Amino acid sequence: MSLTTPSTVRQLEPAVWGRVRQSRRAADRVMKVTAAGFTFLAIFVLFWILGMLVVKGLGGLSVATFTQITPGPGSTGGGLANAMLGSLVLTFLGIVVATPIGVLAGTYLAEYGKGSKLADLIRFINDILLSAPSILIGLFVYVIMVQPLGGYSGWAGGVALGIIAIPVIVRTTEDMLRLVPGPLREAGSALGAPTSIVITSITWRAAKAGMVTGILLALARIAGETAPLIFTALNNNFWFSPTLQGGVSNLPVTIYQFASAPYENWQQLAWAGSLIITMSILLLSIIARRIVRGAK
C-alpha cells in the first residue's frame, strides 16, 4: 500500500524539479567552461604559430627576397623570386585544370544526377579524393606523367595540384547549385529554354558567387602543397625553362629544403617564404568571404 497521496506528490514536485534544474544548470556551466577553455586553447595555439611566423618571417623579408633568385649552398644573400614565380605558374596550371572539370562535374551532380546511381558513385569517389593524402596523388602523377615523359616538369606539377583541387570545386559547385530555388529553373523551362540554357543563363548566374568562392578555396588549398610537387615538379635554384621541362622552382619545396639546411640565410628565406604563403592564403580566404557576403 502506497503512503504517497496526490497532495504529497504536489508538495514533492517543486523540490524534485528544483534539484533537477540545479543539476542541469551545473552541467550547462561545466559544458560552457569546457567548450570556452578548448576554444581559447585553440586560439592561443593559432596566434602563437602566427606570431612566431610573423616575427621570424619579417626578419627574412627584404627587396632582395622579391627580386633575386634562391642562393646556392654556402652563399650569402639571395631571394625567392624564382620560387614565387614558379609557385604562381604551378598554382595557375592547377586551377586551370581543375576549374572546368570541377564545375561541370558539380553541375552534372546537381542538375542531371538527382537520384542516379552514377551520381552517387561520383559523390563517393569525390569524397575519397577530398580526404586522400596529397603525397599519393603526387606519386600517381609521377607514374603516369613523370616516368613516361622521362623527367620532372611543371606540367606534371600542375596536373597534380589540379587533381587535389577538383574535389573541392565539385563539392562546392554542387552545394551552391542545389541552393538555387527550383522556380527559377521552372521559369526558364516554361519559356521553352532547353536545360543547357537554363543552367548556363539562370542557374550558374544565380550561384556564381558561391562557385567563385569554391574556386578560390581550392586555390588556397593547393597553394601550399609540398608533397605532390616533390614527385612532379621537384625544384631548382634558377629560373625555370619556358617549356616547364625539368625542375620548376616553387615556394613549398624551397621552404622544405631551406628550413632543414644548416645555412642561416636559407633558414631566414624559409621563414620569409612561409609568411608569404600564409598571407597569400589569408588574402584568398578574405576575398572568398567578401564575395559570399556581397552576394547576400
- Stretch (H or E) spanning 189: helix 182-190
Per-residue pLDDT at 3 exceeds 70: no
Across the strands, what pairs with 153?
245
Per residue in 120-169, pLDDT tens? 999 999 999 988 899 999 999 999 999 998 889 999 999 999 999 999 99
Per-residue pLDDT at 238 exceeds 90: no
Complete domains list, the chain, with CATH: 85-250 (1.10.3720.10)
Average pLDDT, the chain: 87
* pLDDT at residue 95 in the model: 95
Cα 122–Cα 123–Cα 129 angle in degrees, nearest 5: 90
* pLDDT at residue 7 in the model: 55
* Helices and strands, counts by H and E, the chain: 13, 0
Is the pTM of the predicted complex or chain greater than 0.75? yes
* pLDDT at residue 98 in the model: 95
Average pLDDT over residues 218-245: 89
Other Cβ atoms less than 10 A from the Cβ of 119: the count is 17
d(Cα 105, Cα 99) in Å, to the nearest integer? 10
Per-residue pLDDT at 1 exceeds 50: no
* pLDDT at residue 126 in the model: 92
Nearest by Cα to 86 from 164, 158, 163: 158
